[in-house]
Chain A
Amino acid sequence: MPSETTDKNNVTKPAPAGRTLQNNDAMLSVRGLKKVYQTDGGPIEAVRNLTFDLRAGELACLVGPSGSGKTTLLKCISGLMAPTEGQVLLDGVQVSGPPKKMAVVFQEYGRSLFPWMRVRENVELPLKNQRIPKAERDRLVDEALEAVGLSHVPMSYPWQLSGGMQQRVAIARAVAYQPEVLLMDEPFAAVDAQTRADLEDLIRTVWKKLGVTILFVTHDIDESVYLGERVIILSSSPTVIQEDLVIDLPAERDQLNTRSLPRFTELRHHVYEQIQLAKAGHRPAAAAR
């Protein structure tokens, strides 16, 4: 608890930060992001101070204990919610509303897909909205459905498909949109373990093929280490960055072999420990100093 008082005296000192890059190298920059919700019970500080950069084409995972403001952060990055302080830059341009170069995949695929549209129409809608010509649209939709292995069900309704397949449709919709940054909010939290492993590999494949920058939010430690080139660990709320960790596993990943590497186990241990510390209320040195 002594950190509480020192914290307040320390507002001007640099906050704990994730890795930052030179301006031109960063695709996505989060700078001093803070979000305070005004509620009837008084203000609630969900996110205190977050700073990190994503290089173009990077796949970073964001983990944190539950209630650590992951969803709040993602809403601010995606322009669905304005931060209280700080800013988000996409390719050097400040985000003030949902940017065109960004797509979001939500955890609740059942609610994110429109039940009144067939699979194909769901994937096509954002493209139609951008007035992309029909031929181009068809090509993009076909490619996206192909990429997620769903070219055989374009005329089905989402609710006729299994949970894993529905989330594939949502991923296809994001892929067809051709974003430069793809945000994923715990996308596999509601599917079974085997489907989840398949979808993780799908994300790695899509990522490599498209060269898209991905920020993948998860509460699953194994998943974050397996998927990411980098894992950003959040503290408990009010959120700061606990650690920004490079995942030095080989680029070719494989559910069986990668997960049995000694290095995988080490990294997993490390992230796990950090999350436990975060849960226990430990704050990184720079925040407590």
Chain B
Amino acid sequence: MDNTKTARRRPTKELLGIAGIIGFLLVWEVIPRVGIVDARFLPPASEVILALVRDFGLAAFWLAVGETMLAWLIGLVIAVLAATLLGFIIGSSAFLRSFTNSTVEFLRPIPSVALIPLAVLLFGVKMESSLMLIIYASFWQIFIQVLYGVADVDNVAMNTAKSYGLGQFARIRHVVFPTALPYLMTGVRLAASVALILAITAELVIGSPGLGREIALAQSGGAIAGMYALVLATGLIGVLINLVMRFVERKTLSWHSSVRAEVIV
């Protein structure tokens, strides 16, 4: 009984989701066509989608996507490495935690975009500027999560490891790291979205190469449908990143209670 119920509910949920998107596109299509909003500023959905499909055939579009994604990836990787390393070192020591706490709490709330002038001064209109913003913003997301993760290590698990003669390094590898991993994964997932936002922002404002700059160029060139198409493209990239991160999270954390329920029914 229950099985057939859940089996029937699932496709309905997906159908509803698709219906929602179609409904949204319809509303978007109708609003400029009946003239509620000027079609010059909001072209109908069909036009924008057509422009996006046309973009898919252009090498310049893919080059811009590549540049944005490269900045995103390099920035994210550096942030993950730095935040994980520092998080583990600082998280493992009560002294270092207290020593750095106030500094972290001061630096963390500084919005990354406030550093744009500094980035331009330091690096000019290049990818390094984007990287600086991306790394700054995503670093804190991961760092804070790793700190919480390292602090979450179970006393009994630690004593067990000690009593079986696991040394400092083995304990970090077999106890601290797996404990902190779910936190780290959450941090990376949040950071991946933030990094994309900052990548686009930097390109848009600073003019470093990538999708963001293309959006600015399309806007100033009056290619409004093209501009919307690029915005849609950034949205699609965001969705894709989130899907990939969730997939990776589920694979690496199949043992964790937050994932278990979904894996073992």
Instruction: Report which A residues bind B (CB closer than 8 A).
Output: 75, 78-80, 98, 100, 102-104, 106, 108, 111-112, 114-117, 125-126, 129-130, 157, 159-160, 173, 177
Contact = CB atoms under 8 A, between A and B. Distances in A.
Contacts, number: 60
A175 B243 CA distance: 44
A116 B157 contact: no
B164 A98 contact: yes
Contacts of A104: 159-160, 163
A159 B160 contact: no
Interface residues of B, number: 22
A112 B260 contact: no
B221 interface: no
A114 B164 contact: no
Given A106-B156, A116-B178, A129-B170, A100 B165 contact: yes
A179 B159 CA distance: 17
B159 A129 contact: no
Contacts of B260: 159
B100 to A, nearest CB: 25
Contact of A125 (B162, B164, B167): B164
Contacts of A157: 255
A194 B163 CA distance: 29
Contacts of B175: 114
A213 to B, nearest CB: 16
B156 A114 contact: no
A245 B163 CA distance: 29
14 contacts: A104-B160, A104-B163, A106-B160, A108-B156, A114-B178, A116-B178, A125-B164, A126-B164, A126-B165, A129-B166, A129-B174, A130-B165, A159-B257, A159-B260
Contacts of B170: 129
Given A104-B163, A159-B255, 7 more contacts: A98-B162, A112-B156, A114-B157, A115-B257, A116-B181, A116-B256, A160-B264
B154 interface: yes
A236 to B, nearest CB: 25
Nearest to B160: A112
A104 B165 CA distance: 11
Contacts of A100: 165
Interface in B56-89: none
B174 A114 contact: yes
Contacts of B178: 114, 116
Interface in B107-154: 154
Question: Taking each of B154, B166, B255, B264, which has the highest tally of chain A beta carbons within 10 Å of its own beta carbon?
Answer: B255
Contacts of A129: 164-167, 170, 174
A129 B157 CA distance: 16
A277 to B, nearest CB: 32
Given A80-B159, A104-B160, A129-B170, A115 B255 contact: yes
Contacts of A126: 164-166
Contacts of B156: 106, 108, 111-112
A114 B166 CA distance: 14
Nearest to A110: B156
B163 A102 contact: yes
A78 B256 contact: no
B166 A112 contact: no
B255 A112 contact: no
A130 B167 CA distance: 10
Contacts of A80: 159, 162-163
A190 to B, nearest CB: 12
A153 to B, nearest CB: 14
A103 B163 contact: yes
Contacts of A102: 163
B252 to A, nearest CB: 10
Given A114-B174, A160-B264, A78 B163 contact: yes
Contacts of A117: 255
Contacts of A116: 178, 181, 255-256
Contacts of A125: 164, 166, 174
A78 B165 CA distance: 11
- Max chain A Cβ within 10 angstroms of own Cβ: one of B154, B155, B164, B264: B164
Interface in B169-212: 170, 174-175, 178, 181
Contacts of B155: 111
A73 to B, nearest CB: 15
Contacts of B154: 111
Contacts of A160: 264
A205 B157 CA distance: 27
A112 B164 CA distance: 11
A98 B165 contact: yes
Contacts of A177: 164
